[in-house]
Structure 1
Amino acid sequence: MTAHQNGNISAEVSDFLLNCFARSPGWQLWLSLPLSLFLLLAMGANTTLLITIWLEASLHEPMYYLLSIITLLDLVLCLTVIPKVLAIFWFDLRSISFFACFLQMYIMNCFYAMESCTFMIMAYDLYVAICHPLRYTSIITEQFVIKAVIFILARNVLPILPIPILSAQLHYCGRNAIENCICTNMSVSRLSSDDVTINRLYQFIGGWIMLGSDLILIFLSYTFILRAVLKLKAEGAVAKALSTCGSHFILLLFFSTILLVFVFTLVAKKKVSSDVTVLLNVLHHVIPAALNPIIYGVRTQEIKQGIQRLFMKGW
C-alpha cells in the first residue's frame, strides 16, 4: 500500500516524501536559482572536460584518465541528487519510490567511496611523478590505470551494497516523511521502528575504514612529496612541483567537505537547525562537481590548450 502524504497509516509504506527544509521552507525559492546554475555549470564543464580528454591525443595519459574517472563520478553524483531537489523546489514533487530512494542511497555511498579511492590513486601518481620521475613512465602506464579501475570497482561496489540492503530490510510503518532532500541512510532509517544499530554501525565503521584509509595514504603521499620537494635545488623546481600538486590538493579539499558535513551533522545536530545540515548535503553534491573541472582547466596548461583547440575546431 502506498503511504499517503499525511503519513497516518499503519501499513508498510511503498514510497517516501522528501521534506526539504521543513523548518525553513522559504529557502527553497532563493536556493533553486543558484542550484540550477551550478547544475548547468557542472554539466557543461564536466562534459567539456571529458570530450577534450577523449578527442585530444596529447591528453591520452594516465593522469588524465584518472581525472576522467573523477569527472564521471562527479557527474553521476550530481545528476543523482540535484534534478530531484529542483523538482521538489519547483513542482513540489516530494514523493520518491521505495526502490528509487534506496538506489539513490547506494549510488551516493558507492560513488563517494569510489571518488575517495580515485583521489588516493591520483596522489600515488603524483608521488611517483615527483619522487621517482625517471621511473614514472614504467610504473604509471595504461595497464596501471586498468588495474586501478578494477581495484576501485572491487573495493567499493559490493562492500557498499549492504548499506541500502540493511536499510531496505527495515519495517517502515506509518511515517514516510524524510526530513531531508536526499535519501541518506540516517534520514531514512530513523523512520523505522526497528533497531537500526547494525546498519548505522556498518555505514559508520565501513565509511571511516574506506575514507580514513584513503586519507591516510594521501597524507603519506603528500608527506613524501613535500620531503622530496624541499630537497630540490634547481631554480623554479619547487614552484613547479607544488603547482603539479595544486589542482589535486584543491579537488581533495572540495571532496573532504563530506567528512566535515558528516562530523558537523553528528556534533551540532542539537545546536544547529537541521535545515543547515540538509543545505550542506545538497550543496556538496553540486559545488565540487561544478568547480572541479574549472580548477583543472585553469591550472593545467595541457587541458587549457586542448579546450582552446577544441573550440577553434568547433568540435
Structure 2
Amino acid sequence: MSRPRLLPEGPALLEVRHAVRRWVAAHGADTGVAVALSGGADSLALTAAAVAESGPVHALVVDHRLQEGSGAVAEQAAARALDLGCASARVLTVSVDRDGGLEAAARRARYQALGDARAGRPVLLGHTLDDQAETVLLGLARGSGPRSLAGMRDFDAPWGRPLLTVRRGVTARACEELELDPYRDPHNLSPEFTRVRLRSEALPLLEQILGGGVAQALARTADQLREDGEVLDAIAVRVLADAESEGGLDVAGLVDIHPAVRRRALRLWLLGNGARDLTDRQLRAADDLIGRWRGQGGVAIGGGSPGARLVLSRRHGRLTLGQTAIGPDR
C-alpha cells in the first residue's frame, strides 16, 4: 500500500471532503469502502476525499474494453489510486454485450463487476449534482413517474453517492488542486449518447432560458419527491400487510385505498413474487383488476420463466399471480 498523499486544502477539495465526511457519518462506513474509479475527475476527487475521510479505501477500476488502449487507462487509474493512499486497487475487465444499447449494456456489466468485487463493502460512486439533474430530466422526458423523478439516493445499498450535492465543476477544480490530470472519456463527448446531449445541449439551454439554477432546482425536486415517496411507500407496506392472504391479495382490503398508494402496494407485492421490469402500463392494468373491475381477464406481468409468463388474475375476490405457458405459435 502506498503512503497517502498530503492533500492540499483548496476550497474545491475541501467541499468534496466535507461531502464524503457527511456521508460516512450518516452511513457508518468509517471501517472501509470500495470506490468505483474511472480515472475521470469525479471519481478521482472522490477517491482522494475517501482516503482522507474514511477507513481503508479499495479502488475498483472497470475496463469495459470499448476503446483502444482502455487497459492502459485502467492501469493508470489503479496506479493513481495507490498513489492517493488506497489500501488496494484492482482492474476489473468486463465484456459488454450491447443488448438494449451500449450505455445500458455497459452499465449492467460495470455494476455486475463492482458488485462481485466489493467484498461486502459499500461501493462509492462519483455521481454529482449534475448527474442527478440529468437523471431527473431523463425521467421527466420519458414520463417515468415520481419514482424515476426522485433520482438517485445517496445510499441505495451497496451503492453510495456522497457527491450528489457537489457540482461537476467542483470535482474538476479539486483535481487541479491535487495536481492531477483526469482521464477524459471520449464517450462523454459523443452526441450519440442521450446523456451527453442533455449535458452539452439541453441543460445549458435551460440554464440560459431560465436564468440559471436549473441543475440545483432539478436536484431539489428529486429530494422532495423522494421524501414524499418514502412516506407513500411506508403507507403501502402497511396496506399490503393487511391485504395479503394465503399467497394472494384480498381485493376487499384494497378497493377503498387511494390508487396512488394501492399501486405502490401492488408493485411491492408483484416484485416480491417474481415480477421484473414492471412498466407503468402493466401496473395500471393490474390496478384495474381492483379499482375498475369489469370481469376482465388476467394481466401479463414482466417476469416468469423460459416458456412461461407471469399473469395476475382476479378470482373470487382475490388476486393471485401464476405462470401461464406460452404456446409455440405466440
Rg comparison, structure with higher value: 2
Tell me whether the two structures share a fold, i.e. TM-score over 0.5. no
TM-score for the superposition, normalised by structure 1:
0.28
Between structures 1 and 2, the one with greater strand share = 2
Between structures 1 and 2, the one with greater helix share = 1
TM-score for the superposition, normalised by structure 2:
0.27
Larger RCO, structure (CA 8 Å, separation 6 or more):
1
